Structure 1
Amino acid sequence: MTAVDERRMTELFENLEVPEGVKIELLRGNIVMMAGPDVVHNDIVEAVLDQFPRKKWRRLQTQDVALHQESSEPQPDLVLVERGTGPDSGRMMPPEVIKMVVEVVSKTSVDHDYVIKRSIYAASRLPLYLIIDPLVAHCVLLAGPTGTGENADYQSQSIYKFGDPVPLDLLDVVLDTSEFGTLPNVRPHRRP
């Protein structure tokens, strides 16, 4: 995609009227639309959010992230920023203030969350990327971003079953996953 095409796609994305209940993201120049989240998804996000004290953390749900070098404007399920950092207003959160992004996998987001966003977040140097997967009942913690573009990745990958604690050493938090629910009647995948 040329720079002109990328600018047009970004303009189109920013001016698109989206129906209520639809989530939209720009991922490497592609506009991706998804249905609103399941209750299981929302309960997981709430369980994570509750474990980060509000006095220390800005716990931003569905906050757009400014990753223009990737022609991307993802909207993670949860963005964690230390209180007192980042802009006080606006639609976009700059990557340099983000400590962790969280994505909760849905039936239609497996490839986006495990592949596309993994390289986008790594290329943007987001220190921690936590994938919470209610389809297969595990969490994948990615740390140590390296590389550029589509070849970017994380140096460290740890997998934790639901019910096991997830040590988030960089944030000085041990995440309790015992309340995380699973989606019924779904076909498991083979990621990560």
Structure 2
Amino acid sequence: MWRTTEMTAVDERGMAKFFEGFQPPDGVKVELLRGEIVMMAGPDLVHNLIVEDVQDQIPRKRWARLQTQDVDIVDEASEPVPDLVVLDREAQPESGRLLPSQLITLVVEVVSKTSVDRDYVVKRSIYAAGRVSAYLIIDPIVAQCVLLTIPAGTGDDADYRSQRISKFGEPLPLELLGIELNTSDFGTFKGVRPHRHP
């Protein structure tokens, strides 16, 4: 993973402007997270299969299920690209690169070997600041799901008031979508040192 950190002469808004014209190398995922450009290599197969499994369980007729969708976080120099974005089909705009965060019902991030702190700490605060109703972290390192709901606060102090942790294999109710997520087929990373999040 490469990082281009904030420059002293450029504030976060300036970095956001720079990011608009930034062209990453092929096969590299790029996000703007609070003024920092973060680039990652393509995801592992385990990661992709989990995203596909979750997407398949969300009813397509009611919900738009979008991958690689840039999200606009209001009042933040952040444009995250969640692994999966879910919103009511009636709420989706007709076009545009950036999807306003307040339209989103659920974002899903599948933890990779290099994204643990980003997914559990940085993005947790960013999505809460953007008033995303629910944030689901799926973690193949420690075989758990963390469902965060009820966003509150602003900026760096934003967080979710409710947190529910479940292990892979346990059904996970997603009341906002009216479904129960089956996690029994989610794969795990082998030989990766466990962490202590959330």
Structure 2 match to 1:61: 67
Matched, 1:154 2:132: no
* Alpha-carbon distance in 2 for matches of 1:55, 1:20: 33
Q: Secondary structure at the match of 1:118?
A: helix
* Alpha-carbon distance in 2 for matches of 1:85, 1:61: 17
User: How many residues in Structure 1 have an aligned counterpart in Structure 2?
Assistant: 192
Instruction: Assess if the C-alpha contact under 8 Å between 1:86 and 1:94 holds in 2.
Output: no
Instruction: Assess if the C-alpha contact under 8 Å between 1:57 and 1:80 holds in 2.
Output: yes
Structure 2 match to 1:141: 147
Aligned pair partner of 2:111 in 105, 109, 123: 105
- The Cα shift of 1:14 comes to 1.4
* Alpha-carbon distance in 2 for matches of 1:57, 1:26: 26
* Alpha-carbon distance in 1 for matches of 2:123, 2:12: 18
4+ long deviations beyond 4 Å:
none
Q: What per-residue deviation string (whole Å, max 9, x for no partner) do you get for residues 72-96 of structure 1?
A: 0000000001112121211111112
* Alpha-carbon distance in 1 for matches of 2:81, 2:143: 22
Structure 2 match to 1:173: 179
Instruction: Assess if the C-alpha contact under 8 Å between 1:62 and 1:77 holds in 2.
Output: yes
* AA aligned opposite 1:174: E
Query: Unaligned 5+ residue runs, structure 2?
Result: 1-5
Aligned pair partner of 1:164 in 145, 160, 170: 170
* AA aligned opposite 2:122: I
**Range with greater deviation from structure 2 (167-176 or 43-52):** 167-176
* AA aligned opposite 1:61: Q
Percent identity between the two aligned chains: 65
**Range with greater deviation from structure 2 (89-98 or 154-163):** 89-98
Q: What per-residue deviation string (whole Å, max 9, x for no partner) do you get for residues 14-40 of structure 1?
A: 111111111100000110111110000
Matched, 1:28 2:34: yes
Q: What per-residue deviation string (whole Å, max 9, x for no partner) do you get for residues 96-152 of structure 1?
A: 210000000001100100000000111111110000000100000000001111111
Give the structure-2-normalised TM-score: 0.93
Matched, 1:5 2:4: no
Matched, 1:50 2:56: yes
* AA aligned opposite 2:16: T
* Alpha-carbon distance in 2 for matches of 1:21, 1:165: 34
Query: Unaligned 5+ residue runs, structure 1?
Result: none
